[in-house]
């Protein structure tokens, strides 16, 4: 028998023989011991070659390695940010959350209520005016993105940018932008005096007896407004009493809010006891989250209230969507629109009340002591489903964006997290800065809205990414949605773990927000036609 030549054996080992020759060679090798030995030793040799070539005898250049050099910078930033966040948390967020918790609301439910219900039930007309401001917001984002792009390239620039932002945040506008009164025990704007500007004031007790021709932004223990405000009131306090006239809106977070005056715009309030007194007149709508709401004075437009107990004893010009435990409609009530009540107990309606239609009551299961499993589950499923619906909308409207964010940006965990930290801080500072300076409150609030929306949407992409990690890359639309659902489920389970849940929420928000920001930045470079195709610069060390 003629033996096979070595070249044939090599081609056999390398899988380079045609199929007929492959099978004839195989047959020969099986029968012929010397050829089999030759084949085996070539195979061993090949394995040895492969192993040797795969082995690194010298380290890879810095530029090709994973971003290890960033570690210390990242660690330092996270520590600093952690200190800042904990400070912010303990002094601002925690008291607020505890306050809200007392009245039976957590931040997520408030947001979901406002966004989902707001969008679905009534927000559309408002959205139109919001859209006109969207253009402004986008240009802001572009400016911010450019800044962050440079910042990423050069850490020194980042430091500069951050200190610049810090300075901007610390000096909210010059004297011309607003009148600022801080750290006063008691601030009184006496009757007869007028401030022809926005007024920002913080103190123990704040009394406005005169006139503010602009917005009033106030943080205090007790706020009394008996004068006249031509703009909005934005207030944070233990107690806020409005007996004067407000030409704009009233937005407050306070333990109690008592309106006895005239509000020409809308009222949006969160607190324990929220009351519209008999002498009051609210010409807009009333949106509130609290423990107890009492309407003894007229509200000309819609009600949207989540509270334990509701009491309506006055005229309501629009419809009412109410959620809570109890509802009492008194003799003096005149409600022009429909009343929908999601509650634990049957509403008590006085026979003397004048209602356009009977109260549509939908019973909600009572929250047992210690929290019933069922309600927890319902709660969980509700938020998961809400996130999924919103996420599906985003993902199906922009599948390309979803792909880019989850395949390109989210896997860069450290970078996304860091950029997220910068962007979340920067946009918040920007929103806050806008609210009290240059352009004014509306744009600031819109910015803030999109900021919150961004934080909420962040979890959508984080969820999609996690789903992809678990189930692999989706190949069609239904697979995409399955991954979204699975990933969001994982995130919501993580969020519901006690204590760790907050950390999960924070990490997901920062990480997702960072990836979104990076995506927009990447979009920017795409729009620059002259940019040469470049190998990315080595990561800064």
Partner 1 sequence: MAGRGDLESLVELARAGSSAAWGRVYETLAPSVFRICRRVLASREDAEDATSEIFLRARVRLASYESSRPFAPWLYRVAANHCWDEIRKRRTRAELDDGELELSALEDEAPTPQEAVLAIESRDSLRRVLAELDSRSRLAIVLRYYADMSYEDIGQALGISSNFVGVLLLRARRAMRKGLRETP
Nearest CB to partner 1, comparing residues 375 and 412? 412
Question: How many other CB atoms sit within 10 Å of the CB of residue 215?
Answer: 24
DSSP 234-248: EEEEEEEEE-SEESS
Check binding of 20 to partner 1 (CB under 8 A). Answer: no
Check binding of 525 to partner 1 (CB under 8 A). Answer: yes
Check binding of 472 to partner 1 (CB under 8 A). Answer: yes
Check binding of 535 to partner 1 (CB under 8 A). Answer: yes
Check binding of 48 to partner 1 (CB under 8 A). Answer: yes
Q: How far is CA 401 from CA 92, 396, 538, in A?
A: 35, 10, 25
Instruction: Tell me the number of residues near partner 1 by CB under 8 A.
Output: 58
Burial 302-316 (b: 16+ CB within 10 A, else e): bbbbbbbbbbbbbbb
Check binding of 372 to partner 1 (CB under 8 A). Answer: no
Report the DSSP beta bridge partners of residue 328. 311, 348
Nearest CB to partner 1, comparing residues 16 and 101? 16
Check binding of 513 to partner 1 (CB under 8 A). Answer: no
Check binding of 536 to partner 1 (CB under 8 A). Answer: yes
Check binding of 500 to partner 1 (CB under 8 A). Answer: no
- Determine whether 276 is exposed, middle or buried from the number of CB atoms within 10 Å of its CB (0-12, 13-18, 19+): buried
Strand pairing class (179-189; 286-295): unpaired
Shortest distance, position 405 Cβ to partner 1, whole Å: 10
Binding window for partner 1 (CB under 8 A); candidates: 171-179, 234-242, 399-407, 442-450:
399-407
| CA dist., res. 81 & res. 85, Å (int) | 6
C-beta separation of 302 from 285 below 8 A: yes
369: left (phi over 0), alpha (psi -120 to 50) or beta: beta
Of the candidates 129, 411, 497, 541, which one interacts with partner 1 according to CB under 8 A?
A: 411
Dihedral in degrees, nearest 10, Cα atoms 135, 136, 140, 145? 10
Check binding of 30 to partner 1 (CB under 8 A). Answer: no
Burial 9-28 (b: 16+ CB within 10 A, else e): bbbbbeeebeeeeeeebeeb
Check binding of 505 to partner 1 (CB under 8 A). Answer: no
Check binding of 70 to partner 1 (CB under 8 A). Answer: no
Shortest distance, position 422 Cβ to partner 1, whole Å: 16
| CA dist., res. 455 & res. 491, Å (int) | 14
What are the structure tokens assigned to 317, written together?
Answer: 């010009």
Beta-strand ranges (E) seen in 296-397 are 303-312, 315-316, 320-329, 334-335, 339-343, 348-349, 354-355, 360-363
Of the candidates 19, 20, 54, 132, which one interacts with partner 1 according to CB under 8 A?
A: 54
Q: How far is CA 244 from CA 293, 315, 333, in A?
A: 20, 20, 24
Shortest distance, position 157 Cβ to partner 1, whole Å: 19
Check binding of 127 to partner 1 (CB under 8 A). Answer: no
| CA dist., res. 436 & res. 433, Å (int) | 6
Residues 6+ apart with CB under 8 A from 231: 198, 212, 213, 214, 215, 216, 247, 248, 441
C-beta separation of 310 from 324 below 8 A: yes
Nearest CB to partner 1, comparing residues 386 and 464? 464
Shortest distance, position 71 Cβ to partner 1, whole Å: 16
Shortest distance, position 285 Cβ to partner 1, whole Å: 43
Binding window for partner 1 (CB under 8 A); candidates: 10-18, 78-86, 162-170, 195-203:
10-18
Binding window for partner 1 (CB under 8 A); candidates: 79-87, 229-237, 431-439, 515-523:
515-523
Check binding of 534 to partner 1 (CB under 8 A). Answer: yes
Shortest distance, position 8 Cβ to partner 1, whole Å: 9
Nearest CB to partner 1, comparing residues 45 and 331? 45
Nearest CB to partner 1, comparing residues 383 and 519? 519
Binding window for partner 1 (CB under 8 A); candidates: 9-17, 113-121, 268-276, 487-495:
9-17
Of the candidates 19, 52, 125, 478, which one interacts with partner 1 according to CB under 8 A?
A: 52
Check binding of 64 to partner 1 (CB under 8 A). Answer: yes
Binding window for partner 1 (CB under 8 A); candidates: 7-15, 177-185, 198-206, 448-456:
7-15
CA nearest neighbour of 460 among 10, 205, 115: 115
Shortest distance, position 409 Cβ to partner 1, whole Å: 6
Check binding of 42 to partner 1 (CB under 8 A). Answer: yes
Torsion 225-261-291-442 (CA) sign: negative
Check binding of 479 to partner 1 (CB under 8 A). Answer: no
Check binding of 184 to partner 1 (CB under 8 A). Answer: no
Nearest CB to partner 1, comparing residues 44 and 357? 44
> How far does CA 145 lie from the centroid of its chain?
18
Shortest distance, position 72 Cβ to partner 1, whole Å: 20
Binding window for partner 1 (CB under 8 A); candidates: 2-10, 107-115, 221-229, 274-282:
2-10
298: left (phi over 0), alpha (psi -120 to 50) or beta: beta
- The footprint of partner 1 (CB under 8 A) covers 3-7, 9-11, 14, 16, 34-35, 37-39, 41-42, 44-46, 48-58, 60-61, 63-66, 400, 403-404, 407-409, 411-412, 472-473, 518-519, 521-522, 525-526, 531, 533-536
């Amino acid at each position: 028998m003629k033996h096979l030549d070595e070249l044939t054996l090599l081609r056999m080992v390398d899988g380079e023989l045609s199929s007929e020759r492959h099978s004839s060679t195989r047959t020969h090798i099986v029968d012929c011991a010397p050829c089999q030995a030759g084949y085996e030793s070539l195979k061993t040799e090949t394995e040895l070659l492969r192993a040797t070539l795969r082995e690194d005898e010298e380290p890879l250049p810095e530029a090709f390695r994973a971003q290890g050099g960033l570690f210390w910078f990242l660690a330092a930033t996270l520590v600093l940010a952690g200190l800042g966040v904990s400070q912010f948390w303990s002094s601002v967020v925690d008291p607020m959350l505890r306050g809200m918790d007392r009245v039976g609301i957590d931040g997520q439910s408030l947001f979901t209520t406002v966004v989902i219900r707001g969008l679905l039930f009534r927000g559309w007309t408002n959205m139109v005016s919001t859209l006109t401001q969207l253009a402004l917001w986008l240009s802001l984002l572009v400016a911010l993105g450019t800044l962050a792009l440079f910042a990423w390239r050069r850490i020194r620039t980042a430091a500069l940018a951050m200190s610049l932002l810090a300075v901007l945040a610390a000096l909210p506008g010059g004297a011309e932008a607003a009148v600022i009164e801080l750290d006063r025990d008691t601030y009184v704007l006496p009757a007869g005096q007028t401030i022809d500007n926005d007024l920002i004031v913080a103190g123990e007790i704040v009394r406005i007896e005169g006139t503010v021709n602009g917005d009033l932004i106030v943080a205090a223990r007790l706020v009394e407004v008996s004068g006249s405000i031509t703009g909005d009131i934005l207030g944070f306090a233990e107690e806020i009493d409005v007996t004067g006239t407000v030409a704009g809106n009233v937005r407050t977070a306070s333990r109690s809010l008592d309106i006895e005056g005239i509000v020409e715009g809308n009222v949006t309030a969160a607190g324990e006891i929220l009351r519209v007194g008999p002498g009051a007149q609210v010409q807009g709508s009333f949106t509130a989250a609290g423990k107890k709401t009492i309407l003894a004075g007229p509200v000309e437009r819609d009600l949207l209230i989540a509270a334990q107990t509701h009491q309506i004893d006055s005229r309501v010009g629009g419809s009412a969507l109410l959620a809570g435990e109890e509802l009492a409609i008194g003799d003096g009530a005149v409600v022009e629109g429909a009343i929908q009540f999601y509650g634990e107990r049957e509403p008590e309606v006085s026979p003397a009340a004048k209602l356009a239609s009977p109260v549509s009551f939908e019973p909600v299961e009572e929250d047992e002591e210690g929290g019933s499993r069922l309600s927890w589950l319902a709660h969980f499923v509700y938020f998961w489903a809400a996130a999924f619906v919103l996420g599906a909308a985003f993902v199906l409207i922009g599948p390309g964006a979803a792909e880019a964010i989850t395949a390109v940006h989210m896997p860069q965990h450290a970078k996304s997290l860091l950029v997220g930290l910068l962007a979340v801080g920067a946009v918040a500072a920007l929103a806050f800065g806008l609210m009290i300076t240059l352009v004014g409150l509306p744009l600031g609030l819109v910015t803030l809205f999109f900021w919150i929306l961004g934080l909420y949407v962040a979890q959508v992409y984080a969820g999609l990414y996690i789903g992809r990690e678990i189930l692999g890359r989706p190949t069609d639309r239904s697979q995409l949605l399955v991954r979204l659902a699975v990933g969001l489920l994982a995130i919501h389970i993580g969020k519901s773990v006690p204590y760790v849940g907050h950390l999960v929420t924070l990490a997901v928000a920062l990480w997702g927000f960072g990836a979104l920001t990076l995506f927009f930045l990447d979009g920017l470079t795409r729009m620059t036609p002259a940019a040469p195709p470049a190998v990315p610069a080595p990561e800064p060390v």
